[in-house]
Amino acid sequence: MTAQSKLSQTMIDNRFKMHDRILLGVALIAGIMLGTQLPLVAQPVLGQASSSVSRSNLRSYIGLTYRQLPTGFKDNGGWVVKGGRYRADFVQRGNTRMIWFTKVLKWDRGGAVPVQVVDVMELPTFPRSQELHYAFCRLDGVNDREIFAIAEATHDDIRTTIYRAWRANTKTEKIEPISTEGVACPQV
C-alpha cells in the first residue's frame, strides 16, 4: 500500500468515525435514524479468504453486554435499526471489520446506553467499485432500516446493482442474508 493510500485510508477512517459517532448520538437522542455510506477501500474481491477472526470467535461476542466497547475494539459508527431498540454497530478489531447487531437495554440515565450483542457478522471485503449501504435501503420500493447491502458505486441517486444484502432482523435477533432482488439503496 502506498503512503498516499495509507493517508487516504486514515483520512476516510477518521472522517467516518467522527461523522458516524455524531450521527449515532443524534439518532439515539432523537429516536430517529441517520446514516451514510461506509466505504472500505482497496479490499480483495468478494469470496477471497481474509478472515483474521474465526467464525467461532465471532460467535463468542454474542451475549456481551457493554456501555463502552471493550479494550482493543474500535468503534466505526453504525445506525439505529428500528425504533431506538436495536442498532447495528461497525466494530473493528485489528483488520477484522464486523457488524455487531445489538439490543438496547434498560437505561437508568447514568452514563452511556447499555447494549447487548445479539448477533455478529464479519463484513466481507469488496473492491473500491462497491460500497456498503445501510440505514436507507429499500425493499420493493419500501424503506426498510433492517436492510444493509453492498452495491455498485455509481453516480446514480439510487443504487440498484446490489451484490449482497442482509437483514438485521429484529424479530429473530439475527443478521440474515437475503435475496438482492428488489433491494435498492439511495446514495446518501
Q: Is 135 exposed, middle or buried (0-12, 13-18, 19+ CB in 10 A)?
A: buried
Kindly state the cell numbers that stand for 163: 451484490
Q: Which residues of 32-43 are buried (b: 16+ CB within 10 A; e: fewer)?
A: ebbbbbbebeeb
pLDDT value at residue 14: 44
Nearest by Cα to 137 from 79, 64, 92, 52: 79
Per-position pLDDT tens, the chain of length 188: 444 444 444 444 444 344 334 333 333 333 333 333 333 332 333 333 344 456 668 889 999 999 999 999 999 999 999 888 999 999 999 999 999 999 999 887 777 889 999 999 999 999 999 999 999 999 999 999 999 999 999 999 999 999 999 999 999 999 999 999 999 999 88
pLDDT value at residue 54: 61
Nearest by Cα to 105 from 79, 58, 71, 66: 66
pLDDT value at residue 119: 97
The DSSP output letter for 44 is: P
Kindly state the cell numbers that stand for 181: 432482488
- Cα Rg of the chain, angstroms: 16
Q: How far apart are CA 140 and CA 30, in angstroms?
A: 28
Cα dihedral 140, 145, 147, 151 sign: positive
pLDDT value at residue 113: 86
Nearest by Cα to 42 from 4, 98, 99: 4
The DSSP output letter for 146 is: T
Q: How far apart are CA 183 and CA 139, in angstroms?
A: 5
Residues 6+ apart with CB under 8 A from 55: none
> What single letter denotes the amino acid at residue 59?
R
Q: How far apart are CA 122 and CA 90, in angstroms?
A: 10
Q: Is the pTM of this model over 0.95?
A: no
